[in-house]
């Protein structure tokens, strides 16, 4: 089937926005020392420049998804790209760390508007038999953004400075904004007279912020578990409120009426939780244990996201012809196999074995993600595309945060206060073994939920 000019424009916009928003989430990771020096502050404060964006995206994606379904997705997408671009440029010229932190939070608002609408607009523009293909292309853009963030960000920081990252993102975002405004018509005009669920939105945002903040600070704050439990309590209160309002932020029936939707989201959460920290642990292993430079380690690690980006569109197309749960379950199986191989890693593991394992992990995630996304979006009506896409984005963010939190807890158990990158090689390997055992168990649970969709 020949694509129309409008469909091509929408696909290009989604590819660029998916790349930019995920790229911005990881591009500053290697700039933290430079920012510490320039602002004269500690690592904890600078870390908030990265964390604030992630928290903002996770907390606001679902509320903006509901608003987009109500007032029109194109409006929210354009507004989101505009905010994202302006805040990126503002961050580039910021001289006060507190103002920079505020700008990053608002930039996260813009990114959450994009997350809530871009895939919803994409699948609304294509027929159902092409949904998997275009979602696969979108998923590939997400992987490329996540993987190239540290690479390009580190390059710009090294040869120019960290501000160049924001300037480049702002420039590309402005181009995407112009293309979006001119090339994407308003198809979804929303529903008039929809009341905003203020209590539900407040409880949802509170629960996500508290949960993720507690999760990412379990080993740093003595009361991290208490914050985590408060987030869970706010989440329970959110569900209680949503069951009793006419226009809820999330219709709980989306989960109760279709277990495929529920199991697919839980499978996504577990898959991201099991696989996201692989690159972090392996980067430490390659440098501390194997003795590679950071540049060489980065080139080795790029194998996994490269394989993900290469095969995601292919698997998306297959999910239009083969039941998505079969492909996604097989993908989880490959991820579990890779984690099992990583469990047996040692100081004399040959490089070819590491490359093979990373290839298997990348292929498994490509085989899982696009079909799983297709399964989720196939469960809901057009009127709920934005909310469903926002829930999926939240599963991704929570899963990634959970993965890193698990590593932090394991490091605290095995190494105490010793940093992983300064620990003896044998302690690094012991930490990796325990971490990968935990992740393997999560992946096996994910396989169970993925297969269970057949009977749901």
Question: Residue 455: is its pLDDT beyond 60?
Answer: no
How far apart CA 265 and CA 239 sit, in angstroms, is 17
Q: Nearest Cα to 452, choosing from 254, 271, 259, 252? A: 259
Tell me the CB-side half-sphere exposure of residue 301, using CA atoms within 13 A. 26
How far apart CA 295 and CA 279 sit, in angstroms, is 14
Structure tokens, 232: 């869970």
Q: What is the pLDDT of residues 113-129, one digit of tens each?
A: 998 888 888 888 888 77
Q: Which long-range contacts (CB under 8 A, 24 or more apart) does 225-234 make?
A: 231/206, 231/207, 232/207, 234/203, 234/206, 234/207, 234/210
> Which residues neighbour 362 within 8 Å (Cβ) at sequence distance 6 or greater?
303, 304, 305, 306, 307, 308, 311
Q: What is the pLDDT of residues 354-402, one digit of tens each?
A: 999 999 999 998 898 888 888 888 777 777 777 787 888 888 888 877 8
Alpha-carbon distance values, 164 to 85, 89, 156, 207 (Å): 14, 10, 6, 34
Q: What is the pLDDT of residues 163-193, one digit of tens each?
A: 999 999 999 999 999 999 988 877 655 555 5
Total residues found in the chain within this entry: 456
pLDDT of residue 90: 94
pLDDT of residue 191: 56
Alpha-carbon distance values, 152 to 295, 310, 340, 424 (Å): 12, 19, 31, 30
Helix (H, G, I), strand (E, B) or coil at 244: coil
Alpha-carbon distance values, 298 to 148, 274, 441 (Å): 10, 21, 27
Would the pTM of this model clear 0.75, i.e. be above it? yes
Q: What are phi and psi of 81, to 5 degrees?
A: -65, -40
CB-based contact 454:443 (threshold 8 Å) = no
How far apart CA 252 and CA 248 sit, in angstroms, is 8
How far apart CA 287 and CA 298 sit, in angstroms, is 10
Percentage of the chain with pLDDT > 90? 20
How far apart CA 361 and CA 307 sit, in angstroms, is 9
More confident residue, 192 or 272: 272
Structure tokens, 364: 């498994």
How far apart CA 162 and CA 430 sit, in angstroms, is 35
């Amino acid at each position: 089937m020949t694509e129309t000019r409008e469909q091509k424009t929408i696909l290009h916009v989604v590819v660029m926005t998916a790349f930019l928003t995920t790229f911005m989430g990881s591009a500053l990771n290697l700039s933290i020392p430079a920012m510490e020096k320039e602002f004269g502050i500690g690592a904890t404060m600078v870390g908030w420049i990265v964390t604030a964006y992630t928290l903002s995206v996770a907390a606001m994606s679902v509320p903006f998804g509901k608003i987009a379904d109500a007032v029109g997705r194109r409006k929210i997408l354009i507004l989101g790209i505009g905010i994202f671009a302006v805040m990126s440029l503002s961050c580039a010229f910021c001289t006060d760390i507190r103002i920079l932190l505020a700008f990053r939070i608002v930039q996260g608002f813009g990114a959450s508007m994009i997350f809530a609408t871009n895939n919803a607009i994409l699948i609304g523009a294509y027929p159902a038999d092409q949904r998997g293909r275009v979602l696969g292309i979108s998923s590939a853009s997400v992987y490329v953004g996540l993987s190239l963030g540290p690479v390009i960000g580190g390059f710009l920081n090294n040869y120019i400075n960290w501000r160049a990252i924001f300037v480049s993102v702002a420039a590309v975002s402005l181009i995407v904004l112009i293309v979006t405004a001119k090339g994407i018509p308003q198809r979804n005009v929303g529903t008039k007279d929809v009341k905003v669920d203020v209590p539900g939105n407040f409880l949802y945002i509170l629960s996500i912020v508290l949960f993720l903040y507690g999760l990412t600070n379990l080993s740093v704050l003595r009361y991290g578990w208490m914050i985590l439990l408060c987030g869970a309590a706010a989440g329970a209160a959110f569900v209680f409120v949503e069951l009793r309002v006419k226009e809820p932020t999330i219709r709980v029936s989306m989960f109760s009426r279709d277990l495929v939707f529920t199991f697919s989201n839980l499978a996504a959460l577990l898959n991201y939780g099991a696989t996201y920290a692989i690159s972090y642990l392996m980067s430490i292993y390659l440098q501390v244990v194997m003795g590679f430079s950071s540049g060489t380690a980065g080139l080795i690690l790029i194998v996994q996201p490269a394989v993900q980006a290469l095969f995601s569109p292919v698997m998306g197309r297959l999910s239009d012809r083969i039941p998505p749960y079969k492909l996604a379950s097989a993908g989880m199986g490959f991820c579990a196999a890779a984690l099992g191989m990583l469990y047996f890693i040692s100081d004399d593991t040959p490089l070819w074995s590491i490359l093979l394992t990373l290839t298997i992990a990348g292929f498994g995630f490509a085989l899982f993600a696009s079909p799983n996304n297709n399964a989720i979006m196939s469960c809901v009506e057009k009127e709920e595309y934005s909310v469903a896409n926002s829930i999926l984005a939240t599963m991704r963010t929570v899963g990634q945060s959970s993965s890193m939190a698990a590593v932090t807890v394991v490091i605290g158990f095995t190494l105490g206060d010793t940093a992983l990158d300064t620990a003896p090689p044998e302690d690094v390997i012991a930490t990796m073994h325990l971490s990968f055992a935990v992740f393997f168990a999560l992946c096996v649970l994910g396989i169970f939920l993925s297969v269970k969709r057949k009977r749901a």
